[in-house]
């Protein structure tokens, strides 16, 4: 797949780049995507939820009333789940939601997500750029030039660039990520994928091995 390279002024350059079909043009595997996104979301859960069971509650164990002859059910403890302030039956307890997936499946999920983006024309390749200093206005100007203001954007860079990162940090719908850190969830969550020219080969190198 061949697409044009754009500059930060929003114009199309006279150069094009070929995206490897083995990374950007496969038949997407929906099940792999589902499992990878499920793992990503599960691994983000803290799992610190907890509720008090009967043995954890302070309260008298004295019988509340005589057990027979009242015409009602027996009431053995004030800590019973039936009473206000009592325990909870089978309530949530702290647990770890993490689970593992093999590397090949996670790689398949990522290239499936990239292929979906390519099919939807959601990928744009930009000439490499940087800023002299961190300034949100500079980043906003680029989005305005590309007619992407208000869109959810994922900018993929080849290496950490402090000025680009700090310039985009205050923009709620913009995220900057290294090619080596790409994950399925972030790819699909963004409406537009902006990839710096130097990052394309790095993405292909990571996902071809």
User: pTM for the whole thing?
Assistant: 0.82
- Contacts of 8 by beta carbon, 8 Å cutoff, 6+ apart: 126, 127, 129, 142, 145
So what's the pLDDT on residue 75?
A: 84
Domains of the chain: 2-45+99-208 (3.40.1370.10), 47-96 (no CATH)
pLDDT at 140 over 70: yes
| Rounded Cα gap, residues 138 and 74, in angstroms | 73
Of 100, 99, 109, nearest to 28 (Cα)?
A: 109
3-class secondary-structure state, position 206:
helix
Q: What is the DSSP string of 1-59?
A: -EEEEE-TTS-EEEEEEEPPHHHHSS---HHHHHHHHHHHHHHH---------GGGS--
| Other beta carbons less than 10 A from residue 208's beta carbon | 11
- Contacts of 134 by beta carbon, 8 Å cutoff, 6+ apart: 162, 163, 165, 166, 167
Using DSSP bridges, classify how beta strands 192-196 and 174-178 pair: parallel, antiparallel or unpaired: unpaired
- For 137, counting Cβ atoms within 10 Å of its Cβ (0-12 exposed, 13-18 middle, 19+ buried), the class is exposed
Enumerate helices (H) and strands (E) in the chain, giving the number of each.
Answer: 7, 6
Token pair, residue 106, equals 């996670």
- Categorize the per-residue pLDDT at 6 as very low, low, confident or very high, splitting at 50, 70 and 90: very high
Strands of 93-167, DSSP E: 123-126, 153-157
Handedness of CA 112, 117, 121, 125 (dihedral sign): negative
pLDDT at 104 over 80: yes
| Other beta carbons less than 10 A from residue 60's beta carbon | 9
8 Å CB contact between 182 and 161: no
Specify the range with the lowest mean pLDDT, choosing from 49-63, 104-118, 178-192: 49-63
pLDDT at 209 over 80: no
- Categorize the per-residue pLDDT at 34 as very low, low, confident or very high, splitting at 50, 70 and 90: very high
């Amino acid at each position: 797949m061949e697409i044009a390279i754009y500059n930060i002024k929003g114009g199309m350059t006279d150069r094009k780049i070929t995206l490897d079909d083995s990374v950007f043009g496969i038949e997407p595997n929906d099940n792999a995507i589902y499992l990878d996104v499920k793992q990503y979301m599960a691994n983000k859960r803290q799992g610190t939820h907890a509720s008090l069971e009967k043995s954890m509650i302070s309260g008298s164990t004295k019988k509340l009333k005589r057990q027979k002859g009242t015409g009602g059910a027996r009431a053995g403890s004030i800590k019973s789940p039936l009473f206000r302030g009592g325990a909870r039956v089978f309530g949530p307890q702290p647990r770890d939601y993490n689970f593992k997936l093999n590397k090949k499946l996670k790689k398949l999920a990522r290239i499936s997500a990239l292929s979906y983006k390519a099919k939807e024309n959601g990928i744009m390749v930009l000439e490499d750029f940087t800023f002299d200093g961190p300034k949100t206005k500079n980043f906003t100007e680029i989005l305005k030039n590309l007619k992407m203001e208000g869109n959810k954007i994922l900018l993929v860079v080849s290496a950490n660039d402090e000025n680009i990162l700090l310039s985009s940090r205050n923009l709620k719908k913009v995220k900057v990520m290294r090619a080596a850190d790409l994950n399925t969830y972030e790819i699909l969550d963004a409406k537009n994928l902006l990839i710096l020219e130097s990052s394309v080969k790095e993405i292909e190198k990571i996902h071809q091995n």
